[in-house]
Amino acid sequence: MKGIVFNELLEMVEQQHSLALVDQIITDAAPPHGGAYTSVGTYPAGEMVALVCALSARTGAAPGALLEAFGEHLAATFARMFPDLFAASGTALDFIAGVETYVHVEVRKLYPEAELPRFDIERPRPGALAMHYRSPRAMPELAVGIIRGIGKHYAERLEITREDLSLDATSVRLTVELVGP
């Protein structure tokens, strides 16, 4: 996983809590490099899990809820960093529908070592989208959070339903419905 993602997690913890908590979770998770992530570096996804679990232990919030909140934070960061990517779509569902064929394709050009999930997308009708998430990193909550953040970016109200297709969250079906502006 790219260093930029780790730095954004630590940034969110600092914003929502404190720098002291950032230091505590780095101490608890004990990554080999002492928590100094460079944005272009690549680090094991297990370090993200360790940091989120440490944050969960310190705050009492469930790891899944934390990953979801992080996804929302990430979407807002991405929208600031890559405005052209977001300007290319007029609605949240159009943007999300392009995650596999456009968005993550562009991400891979910027970060060739990125470990991205796979999404199979269906548009059963206008205002609805179904996506099949598959990834050995098993982070569907992050996808849900990113989708929520994208809804906020486009000022659209989205309802997200999750259906697990495996026991280990490596295969999950997400249904996204536009429920209002």
Q: How far is the CB of 91 from ligand HEM (least distance, A)?
A: 12
What single-letter amino acid sits at 169? A
What single-letter amino acid sits at 4? I
82 binds ligand HEM (CB under 6 A): yes
Q: How far apart are CA 108 and CA 105, in angstroms?
A: 5
135 binds ligand HEM (CB under 6 A): yes
- Residue 158 · residue 178 · CB < 8 Å: yes
147 binds ligand HEM (CB under 6 A): yes
Strand spans (E) along the chain: 118-125, 128-134, 157-164, 171-180
What single-letter amino acid sits at 144? V
Instruction: Give the sign of the dihedral formed by CA 82, CA 88, CA 92, CA 97.
Output: negative
**Closer CB to ligand HEM, 22 or 47, in the complex:** 47
154 SS3 class: coil
134 binds ligand HEM (CB under 6 A): no
What single-letter amino acid sits at 100? E
Q: Pick from 99, 129, 176, 178: which binds ligand HEM (CB under 6 A)? A: 99
Q: Pick from 21, 53, 61, 85: which binds ligand HEM (CB under 6 A)? A: 85
- Residue 40 · residue 3 · CB < 8 Å: yes
93 binds ligand HEM (CB under 6 A): no
**Closer CB to ligand HEM, 60 or 112, in the complex:** 112
Q: How far apart are CA 14 and CA 56, in angstroms?
A: 15
Q: How far is the CB of 170 from ligand HEM (least distance, A)?
A: 9
Sole window of 11-19, 22-30, 100-108, 164-172 interacting with ligand HEM (rule: CB under 6 A) = 100-108
Sole window of 19-27, 52-60, 108-116, 153-161 interacting with ligand HEM (rule: CB under 6 A) = 108-116
Q: How far apart are CA 167 and CA 170, in angstroms?
A: 8
Residues that bind ligand HEM (CB under 6 A): 1-2, 5, 78, 82, 85, 95-96, 99, 103-104, 107, 111, 114-117, 135, 137, 139, 142-143, 146-147, 150
